[in-house]
Every structure is written in structure tokens, then in C-alpha cells.
Structure 1
Amino acid sequence: MGTSKSATLAAPEHSTEHIRRLAAGTLMPGFSGIAVPVWILDAYDAGLAAVCLYGTNVASPVQLRDLCAGLRAHSPHTLIAVDEEGGDVTRLHYLTGSPQPGNAVLGRLDDVTLTATSAATIGQELASLGINLNLAPDADVNSEADNPVIGVRSFGAEPDLVARHTAAWIRGLEDSGVASCAKHFPGHGSTTSDSHHELPRVSADAATLEARELVPFRALVEAKGATVMTSHILVDALDPENPATFSSRILQGLLREELGFDGVILTDALDMAGASADTGVPEAAVRALQAGADLLCVGSDTGPELYEQTLAAITEAVAEGRLSLERLADAAARVAGLSARFPAAGAAEIHQATPRGISSKPGRPALDSAEADATLDAGRIREAFEVSAAAENWLAREEPVAIVQVDTGANFAVGQVPWGPAAATDAVVGEGEVPDGAKVAVVGRGLDGDHPLWTVFSRLRAEGHAVIAVECGWPRGGADIVTYGASLGVSQALCGLLLGSH
């Protein structure tokens, strides 16, 4: 199937065959569907470095295990990556929600041992599937409350807190045998737009960046984290012309030379508008390599045509002298070194493993599921909640409880994962189903002034109900309870509080 490895490796150093193999050694595509497509297997035979799994690749625990085992059987020594941050961003638990609390809850508890344990639990689960690269932790300092893409993915708004938990998360994950990827360098936390849809701009001056955005990434270097992910943002004080992913000033000058990072530089997905809306993915790949990136995340639905176009663009750039062969070879060698540093379990071990936290049970998990958070019990998670005096009074009232969850969209990073009380209990009702005399918790996330939750809240209060508003995201003001996350583990803890089973 495809070109044999021995024939390709024997190709002369400057041959097109050799250059294409080096180029393939820098690419990490995704793919559509729940089975490994033939074109991915052919690409592996021709030198493909890695593949990234997404939520749409997951249909069941057994299917996921078989998918990973199939990839490992065909290519035992390459990288299988996934975005498993814990909390709201999960791929392994895309169908139910993550049992882990997520970064914002961990940051509020501010216990680095708990953070490392949460990361280790995730790492053990990934390793049992043969996944050896996790695109986490998020090391952004969420200094902008209205940030549409970071929010509860961050450990917090205070740089030193984010730094110590970033380092702890990296240690916990990598001690489990899975490579980490701190993101989104040089810092996406102060943006008010989402790089999935446009190119955000950071206008903070150099002193602010040094004191805020760069602090967690210095901690990453000190912790010897394996990889860093670039962000598709313009940072005026560092390079006003090129987004970070395409900036040699940022990737080489700042990250490599000033901060001393010697690991693999990995791009955020190149199919995002902030990276390729103007140029297309193939040219974005060339620009990222030129700037100093080593491993290129192509995107979730790459497909054979786009993969070939990207491979051809890199090969042509070397032939034209736009991209040096030395730079390409360095990138491919760094990626190969990462694979060697984090070897994965073989296909046989994967088939025998029972990943922690992945439930084979159909349907919604029970509120008191034994497969809930392996790191924190519900009581400890609730210590991270903000509960107002009005909410305390509501909790003390004797009326029966009704929970109304208002539909709220999520950013692309989170996707369509079950969230909030609706993911954790059957006790959620529609607005029109609230019984007379019930006290009501109205639940949403991203509760800005225009959120539809407030209309539901006002109507229920006008009907005479005692009503509180619950924010399952980063606080933006006005909510009576703030949970700092909407994962299954956090939502179970919230339901215990609201329903009085705590």
C-alpha cells in the first residue's frame, strides 16, 4: 500500500521523493468518519508524522479503541494526537461530557497536586488508547472576561497562578507517558474575537505581555514541556504584520532564542480563518514552516485532496528556494524525536486496555455515577463555585426545585458536547413545564447582557417563582451561581447543590 518506506528512505537527499517524505514528517491531518480511511494509511507509509483525532471520530468507546488500535498496528511509532483538555474541551468524552473539572475550576481551587492528578488521570486514559500527544494544557491568562474562545479553558486571570498550574498539568500528563502541548503561544487570553472565525489582534504593549501573557510559557520552558502550540493572532508589540504562527520574530526570536524552548513547535489548526482565510491551507503550511513551526495541524476534515495539496506546496517551496531544505529537515527531525521520546502502547495492549473514565453504558450517566470525576469529589468541585447571598437564600427555601437549561452555543473548540445539568440529570424541564410553586434555577453559559437566559429568568420571576441564574462558564456579571465550567463532573456537582443531594 503506497510507496515502501525502504525505497523512500533510500532516495537521494535532494530528490523530490526525499523532500516529500520530510514534508509528510511535519504534517498532522485530521480525517472524517469513525474508521481509518485508506488515504491516511497510504500517507503513513509515505512518511506521515501524525494524525489528530476529533470528536466526530468518536462513536463509542469500543469504536474509539479499535480506531486507535488500527492506527497503531499500521504505524506503531508515529504520533496520535487529541484535544483532551478536560473540562469543557473533550474528545474522548465527546458523547457524554468529561468527568474532569477543567482548568478554571482547578485554578480556583489552587492546589497544584490536584491539577497534576487531574492531568495524570487524563494521561493514563490517553495512554491506554495508544494516544501519545495531548493538545493541552491551555496556558492562556484569561484577562478578558468576554473572551469568546478561552474562558474556562484557562486556569485563571492571574499570571503566576496560571504558570504554576500549567507546570503542574504538564508534569502530571507527561509522567503518564503522553506529550503535552501548552497553548496558545504567545497568549490568546486577552482577545475578544475567535481565531477560528477571524484574525484577532492583541494591542497590549511589550511590558504587559512580559508580565502577563509570557509568564506561563516561561513556566512551560522550565518544566521542559514537550510541545507548544502557536496562535493565529496578531500581536502588535511583537510583530504587527505576521500572525504568531507565521512570525519568525515570535517563534524563533522570542520562543526559541529568548525563552529557550527546545521542544516541538506545533501550529493551531491551519484550516482556521485566522490562519488561512486569505491564503488557503497549503500556503499557510509553507509560511508556518518558514517561521519556525515543526508540526502542522492541518485541520479536522483534511481529506486526501487537501493533504496532497499541502504536501505538494511544501515540496514546491523547497524546490523554489522559499523554504530551505535544512529548515524542513530540522522540523521533521524534531517531530521524529518527539515520537521517540513518547512511545505509545502497541495495538495488542490497546485492545486489552480498559481506559479510565470511558463508559460503555448507553444513555445519560446517572448523577451519582461511579464513573464521575476520578480526581475530585463533588463537594471539592463545589468549593470552586461562586454562590451569592441570593443563591444561598434560594437554596435554603423549602419549595420543590425546577431546573431550566437555556440552549447556548459553544465555540468551535468545545463543539457539541453535552453540558450543564442536562448532561447530568433527567430533572431538567422546559420553561413551560415548571410546576406551580417551584423555585427555579435557570442555567446558561456566556451570560452577557443579551443572552436569552435573562428573558426566561424575567418571565419565570413575573409568574411568581423564586428564580436564580446559574452561569456554567466564565463570569460576566449578574449570575447568582458561577460554576467556572460545564463538564459532566462540574455539572454533577452543580446538580447535587441545586437538588439538595449534597
Structure 2
Amino acid sequence: MEHSREALRRLVLGTLMPGFVGTTVPDWVKREYAAGLASVCLYGANVVDPDQLAALCASLRSAAPHVVLAVDEEGGDVTRLHYPTGSTQPGNALLGRLDDTALTRDSAVAIGRELAAYGINLDLAPVVDVNSADENPVIGVRSFGAEAARVSRHSAAYVEGVQSVGVAACAKHFPGHGDTVTDSHLALPHVHAEAHVLDGRELEPFRAAIGARVACIMTSHVVVSAIDPDRPATFSPAVLGDLLRDRLGFEGVIVSDALDMAGASAETGIPEAAVRALVAGCDLLCVGSETTEEEFHAVVAAVVSAAGSGRLPVQRLEEAAARVALLSKGFAADSFAVEGSAQVPAWSNGALVRGFEVGAAVEAWLDAPCDAVIVQVASDPNLAVGRVAWGPCAAGLATSEDAVPQGAKVAVAGRGLAAGHPLWAVAERLRAHGHPTITVDCGWPRGGADLVTFGGSVVVAEALGRYLGVERPG
């Protein structure tokens, strides 16, 4: 069957999910929706506060009532809805430590209800990667843990929670980003684990998510050498077709990770990456966080050209667009079940502290008869997290180093505490001035900290403050 260029363009638009620059809906997004655009993704830079976000989503829904509106709302360190102030959910690593799937499900229900209230119908979560490499620079506390069985049961609980209120979930990053020491935002990571290790570790949480009827699965820009030594998963028919579709039996929407990441497009550019992803088996392409109209048109032109030349079979394009259309109908924004409130535990009751890792020095510090303060040391985030508010600072509990009262005991908090982190020098200075001092890692532990919270969200920082007996500075 012959397709006109206009018909091909409409099919292509049915597979694309751009972001955009600014805090209001650009005119070009509205025009492209009228021409067939399937999806739009919101990012932290699009959010100022709840009122602005509500107005933005309402404006988008008014212009594009059937668009798949997506966001990375993982809970914990990665939040978009709460980008300016920090997440009100503890996040995966701490939930995995608590190992109560009911808590994880309730946290996901709360996230889903909040998304639904804004008219957002696709949550690009949960992260189901097994964080088997402690030095992993991009997954860490976004993971439910380092054990496949634990990650699997919590991944299923999260999927069930989000989707129970009518919001689609998206398990990521297939077939696993947890055993990497490179951030795919910055370069192309490789996983060299043997096939039987992958099967028992990386793939188990995806099996669990598929068993929970997850609507979408997101690819990783990672070369998994035991499956395809030549291509990242996003561009690999062996990974997406042979493994995910045929062997694991996934029938939902395959979403690419963002194509503006270096692991996807540093060598080829985004338009070529888009073509390769569709050819490999992706259905919905996450174009990037700050897509301009010109960049979007370049992607569309490249995919239309590939389809017109036969490099991208039109049948593959039709299949992808049809899956995305079914997603839009199955998780329509006007069918959200948002009545009532989520049964989320009162995080103030001390439940989160049970998931902290507490070393021997902390007990003596707690017993020291002096006022307690927290000093937070700046810690560069990875690009997945962004410049979101985090830790004791976000909770209003931090004191600057130069304002520590004489005789006070100090908890020095940071995250990503590798050997060269400036936190260690701050702690040594405070000890030299006679302050009883402990160190707190608000991330995935790398060794050396006296206390580890396994997350830096506001609610975790508040639990930390209560545990340490720290009051908000005057």
C-alpha cells in the first residue's frame, strides 16, 4: 500500500514524544498535535510551582485532549512535579530497604493520584534496574536494591499502584542499567555480564513488571555484550525483538530513553537515532527535554525519509503508532479514578528510619548532651536527577558550616560520597574545632559514612532530622 508523504508524516508523529522549552505550551506543539503528535513529556524545567503546573497541564489538555502526557515521577531523588521543592515520597532504595511491598504500592498510588489530578497519564517509572554496581553514577537510590528478588517484588508493587488509578507505568531501563559505571547521559555504557547472570539478575524485575501488566517498558542506551555486542539496547532488534517481545512476551509499548543523551546520539545526531530506534522495535520515542521546533522537524523529516526509502518498513511504523494509540485509549485522562485519598503511611511516624543504615558512632553521637545541627555539603547531581531540591536544605534543617554554634554536635550530610568528596574535609574541620561529628550519606553508600539514608527527598530528610533531634534553625 502506497502512503503519501502527509500520511507518512502523521504515522511518524504518532510515535514521537518531545519535550519543550518553557513553562507554557508552545504553539508548535499544538500544531503538531493537530497533525497527529502522540505524546509530550514534561521535565523539571517546565515546572515552577503547583499552580503553574496545573495551568500548563490544563492548557495542554485543552489543546490536545488525547495526547499521552508523560513525566519522570519516580518518587525520591527523581521528581518533576516537585522539582523546585523536592519529592514528598521516600524513593525506591529506601522502600526496598523497608521491604514492605504494601508501602511501595501505597507510595506509587499516591504518585499516580497526583499525576492524575494534573491530567498526566504516563509515569516514566519505576526504575527496575538491580543496582549491582555500588559506584553506579546514574541509578543508585533510584533502584529498589542490589538483589533481583527484592527489586522484582517492589517493581511489581509499584506498577500495580500507579496503574490502579488509571496512570500507565513504564518499567526502565531494559535490559538493565544497574551493572554500569558510566552514565548513559554522558557516554555509552557497556555491561559484560554473562547470559546466565543477566537472566537471573537484570531480567527478573522486568519479568515481574510484565507479570504485573506494565503498560510500557523503556530501553537503555547500554551495550549488553552477551545479547548484542555491537549495538545499544535502544537500537538492537536482538534486545527489543528477540528478547523483550519474543522471549519475555511483552506486548505493550516500548519507549526509548531520551534520544538527546550521549549514549544514543553523540555520534549520529538525534534524527538518525530516531530512525535506528524505530527500526529496532521502539514504538514511542522520547526525543529530549528541550526539543525545539526546528529539532523536532529534523527528526520528523529523517523518519519520513527512512520510511519513504524503505529503510524503515512502513509496517513497522504502523505497528508502533498503533500501540501508542492503544495506550492513549487505555489510559485516557478523562477516565482517571482520582476520588478519595491514597492510603499512604504517615512518614512522620518514624517508619522510614527503619530503612536507614546506622553505624556504631551514631549512638554515642545521639547520647552527647549538646544541641544537634546538620551541615549539608553541596553534591553534584547526575543528569537524571537534575537540580532538584534535596536533603536537609530542602527540609529547612541545614545550618551553614560557619554558623555552627559553639559546642554543638554536627551531622555532615552529602551524597555520592566518593573518596574525593568535599564532605570529608568539612567533617575533619568540624572535629578539629571540637564538635562531635558524624557523616551522613543521603545517597547509595560507597563506604565510610556513619549513617546512610538511601535517599535525599524532603520526606527522608525530615525523618533524618527527627531521628537526630535537629530543629529548624531559628
Q: Same fold (TM over 0.5)?
A: yes
Give the structure 2 partner of residue 88 of structure 1: 77
The counterpart of 2:225, out of the listed 230, 236, 247, is 236
The counterpart of 1:494, out of the listed 464, 467, 474, is 464
Is residue 148 of structure 2 the alignment partner of residue 159 of structure 1? yes
Is residue 424 of structure 2 the alignment partner of residue 435 of structure 1? no
Residue range with higher mean Cα deviation, 456-465 or 267-276: 456-465
SS of corresponding position for 1:265: strand
Contact preservation (8 Å) 2:174, 2:217: yes
Quote the Cα distance in structure 2 between the aligned partners of 1:242 and 1:378. Answer: 48
Give the structure 2 partner of residue 391 of structure 1: 362
SS of corresponding position for 2:334: coil
Is residue 262 of structure 2 the alignment partner of residue 273 of structure 1? yes
| Superposition misfits of 4+ residues, deviation over 3 angstroms | 353-357, 373-378
SS of corresponding position for 1:377: helix
Contact preservation (8 Å) 2:167, 2:331: yes
1:235-314 correspondence runs (5 A): 235-314=224-303
Is residue 447 of structure 2 the alignment partner of residue 458 of structure 1? no
1:92-491 correspondence runs (5 A): 92-345=81-334, 376-425=347-396, 427-491=397-461
Quote the Cα distance in structure 2 between the aligned partners of 1:479 and 1:254. Answer: 40
SS of corresponding position for 2:155: helix
Aligned partner letter, 2:398: V
Deviation at 1:345, TM superposition (A): 3.0
Quote the Cα distance in structure 2 between the aligned partners of 1:356 and 1:291. Answer: 41
Quote the Cα distance in structure 2 between the aligned partners of 1:402 and 1:492. Answer: 13
SS of corresponding position for 2:347: coil
Deviation at 1:170, TM superposition (A): 0.2
Deviation at 1:296, TM superposition (A): 0.0
Aligned partner letter, 2:309: E
Deviation at 1:495, TM superposition (A): 0.9
Deviation at 1:500, TM superposition (A): 5.4
Aligned partner letter, 1:275: A
Contact preservation (8 Å) 2:103, 2:345: no
Contact preservation (8 Å) 1:128, 1:345: no
Contact preservation (8 Å) 2:373, 2:470: no
* TM-score, with structure 1 as normaliser: 0.91
Contact preservation (8 Å) 2:439, 2:450: yes
* CA deviation map 1:194-223 (0-9, x unaligned): 000000010111111011100101111111
Contact preservation (8 Å) 1:133, 1:179: yes
Contact preservation (8 Å) 1:87, 1:100: yes
Deviation at 1:393, TM superposition (A): 1.1
Aligned partner letter, 1:198: A
- Number of residues of Structure 1 aligned to a counterpart in Structure 2: 470
* TM-score, with structure 2 as normaliser: 0.97
Deviation at 1:400, TM superposition (A): 1.1
* CA deviation map 1:83-138 (0-9, x unaligned): 00000000000111111000011101111111111000000010011100000000
Deviation at 1:266, TM superposition (A): 0.1
Ranges in structure 1 where 5+ consecutive residues have no aligned partner: 1-11, 358-372
Ranges in structure 2 where 5+ consecutive residues have no aligned partner: none
